[in-house]
Chain A
Amino acid sequence: MRLGSRAVCWLLMLTIVGLAAPGRLSAQGTAGRRTVAAVADRDVRDWDSQITRMERSDELRVRRTDEDGLVPGRTHERFDQYYDGIRVVGGELVRQLEKGQTLSVFGTVYAGISVDSEPAMRAEDAADIVAELTGVTLPAARVPDLVVLPRDDGGYALTYRARVMTASDLIIYYIDAQTGDVVLQYSDLETTVGTGKGVLDDTKKVSTTLKNGTYIASDKLRPPNINTYDMKGSLTRTNQYLNGQILLGDSDFASDSDDDWTDQAAVDAHAYAGWTYDYYYKRFNRQGLNNRNLAMTSLVHPVKREEWASQPSSVLNLYYLNAFYAGDGVMVYGEGLPPNVTAGGMKWNYFSGALDVVAHELTHGVTDYTSGLIYRNESGALNEAFSDIMGASAEFYYQPLGNGYLKADYLLGEDLTSPLSGFRSMANPQAFGDPDHYSKRYLGSSDNGGVHTNSGIANQAFYLAVEGGTNRTSGLAVTGVGSANRDKIEKVFYRAFTQMLPANATFAIARAATIQAARDLYGTGSDVDRAVTQAWTAVGVN
């Protein structure tokens, strides 16, 4: 048995350095557990030298070093504590560095560890015990790890840690490495799959998380964090969050008591955000908005529906009859209007209730992290068009073709309006007063130079490249690739708009880039090349 002589040194050191400075170190729970929060110069220096010393004595090992994504030039080192070469569960320090200088140290370390570090059984034996307990035979690559477990009673145990997925649970086992007894086991499964009705009363699954007995709209099944918050009609709080003045906490999540969700706006916002992530991943192998699994945050109920009549038109237009991408992966979905109220001759439902709208807003995030198309004039119209194109494409990916609610078509936002019409058409932009030809483009200054109007030109080009047909203005016919090959045109536009367009792109640049993308993907002279070229020509972009 090798008792930790180093641990004794540790205890002395902590007594001198730590307990003499309770602001830096404080004992919590387990007897030997010490928390570290060193930010003052002297404390930082002390811990810096302690880290160096512990690294030399193999009591700390660097697990990983991360570049600071927000403050350039800074790095964060994450250390694990070891005892006789065995990792101590929960023993961890994080050191922030800038140009080699330590700025802060946070973490938890354990002192006074005293365990026999020679296990009486092999990891395979522990795996057998787990197999007896669960019926799951762990593969060789996942045999249990030997770790030192700080116990709640203040002692320590040499254990094997195994993580086992059964059909009903994800369980963490700590098996005593001397006796084979289960020292600790707990469920590591917080993620659940709930169900709920969407805005159109369709039942769908929602990926949720059980937290403190309540199911919250936090999707941990997909690679990025996808969270949906219920702003409970507080415009003030919504704006404070969007302005970075407050953070949202657990109590702000859209939630449900039994995972059978009844908040239809939250159900659709949450589910459709996940679907959109899936669409981008499966179609383009893209990992989220920034291709690095940026968290996706949806805000629903930013205002109260019943207060619509007392709102100024600016609030009505932004938070009732609109949805928008607020940057940094945050979407805000308008509340719509009460069922007995119309605007523009239509009834308006919750804006999260339309998949194409959700995918449209999230695509603004993709654009933000790729071409960065400037949101005015032609580049702004291309920005809007790309969102429309991806929005409609997501619809076609998930929904059956046809006319009606929850059907895939070339209308935008039709699922949230009654009568079923939406507010833009890619097949016939003129039906909503939008140009279908470059010669008819809006040249005024309103709407940032007509970004929601002139998008119809590129929308029509996409539509014609897929479906073929004749442009109503030019009378030019296009041989499309056909709906069975819609994915090819989607890939062409995705490639061009995310990887080739500059921020101040024009329609002419978009034409050239999409044609080049078609040739890159499918070859010069291919059906796709021809369809894209004809489509832009038909809409007057040369």
Chain B
Amino acid sequence: MNNTPVILRPLILAGVLAMCGLASAPANAQTPSVWQGIGFIAVDGGAQVTSSGYTSNLTFPLHGETATGTATSDAVSGAVFTARGGIRIWKNLALGAGVTVFSSTPDVAVEASLPHPFFFNRPREVSGTASGLTRRETMAAVEVSWLVPLSRRMDMSLFAGPAFFNVRQDMVTTVQFTETYPYDTATFAGVESEEVSRSVTGFTVGADVSYLFSKNFGLGGQFRFSRASTTLTPSGGQSTAVDLGGAQVGGGIRIRF
């Protein structure tokens, strides 16, 4: 599945082209050893390509018993927006911050065991796919960058730092179904969900390549990996362990000042 919005593709392409430029750039004897500039800003669009999936366990009261089930979301891609900037504080070392916003609405596979209205211990099994359940991750990171000049126009930075995640995940809480007499079977009809929000600390590391077309402006590409782990618990439901972040690639504009 490719969830990368069409509008972001040119930016990603630009980043890739910038990296290609790096690869094809001739060796330059005048390459400075110290990064030239006060600071930088990078704004990228791209995709988070290895978002983690999750499986949540469902329990809800039904017909005098407890219905059980699972909702499973496989790892999927999603669009990501990134903005980061920094100030050089010593030689090639810079201190800055970055923000990424990721959103994905994958299909969720749902299986449930629904109690019979007339008899104990005679569950009906249903399964189906729920759509429209969105995960939104916002990550804010404090980033220490090591800036590596590659030529007068091109440089690379390696960065890492602690990251603060906020996730808002639509969690399946109950399964909707249809049933008719004699109720020995039931049919999956959808789900009810609840948005669960949680904040947690993790980390981020990455690399960025920039190519300047003028003194201050250019294009670049970025690879980043971020990770945090937490649990999400809908009201009255069970806790579900989820991993946040993942591998991100993107490209966009670069500003050096």
Contact = CB atoms under 8 A, between A and B. Distances in A.
Contacts of A195: 64
B63 A204 contact: no
Interface in B101-123: 116-120
A207 interface: yes
Contacts of A278: 118, 182
Interface string B174-193: 11111001110000011111
Contact of B118 (A137, A166, A274): A274
Contact of B120 (A137, A205, A221, A223): A205
A471 B188 CA distance: 53
A281 interface: yes
A204 B65 CA distance: 11
B62 interface: yes
A166 B64 CA distance: 16
Interface in B162-177: 174-177
A4 to B, nearest CB: 38
B62 A167 contact: yes
Contact of A167 (B177, B181, B182): B177
B213 interface: no
A439 to B, nearest CB: 44
A338 to B, nearest CB: 30
Interface string B181-222: 111000001111100000000000000000000000000000
Contacts of B116: 205
Interface of B is mostly: strand
Contacts of A166: 174, 176, 192
Contacts of A274: 118
B117 A205 contact: yes
A269 to B, nearest CB: 15
Given A165-B178, A221-B183, A205 B64 contact: yes
Contacts of B176: 134-136, 165-167
A282 B62 contact: no
Contacts of B177: 165, 167
B189 A222 contact: no
A205 B118 contact: yes
Contacts of B193: 135
Interface residues of A, number: 23
Contacts of A193: 63-64, 117-118
A450 to B, nearest CB: 38
Contacts of A275: 118
B162 to A, nearest CB: 37
A135 B190 contact: yes
Nearest to B63: A193
Contacts of B257: none
A168 B174 contact: yes
**Most A CB within 10 A of own CB, among B63, B67, B177:** B63
11 contacts: A135-B191, A135-B192, A135-B193, A166-B174, A167-B67, A167-B177, A168-B174, A205-B64, A205-B117, A221-B183, A282-B182
Interface of B: 60, 62-64, 67, 116-120, 174-178, 181-183, 189-193
Interface of A: 134-137, 165-168, 193-195, 203-205, 207, 221-223, 274-275, 278, 281-282
Given A167-B175, A204-B119, 12 more contacts: A134-B176, A135-B190, A135-B192, A136-B189, A165-B176, A165-B189, A166-B174, A166-B192, A167-B67, A205-B64, A205-B120, A281-B181
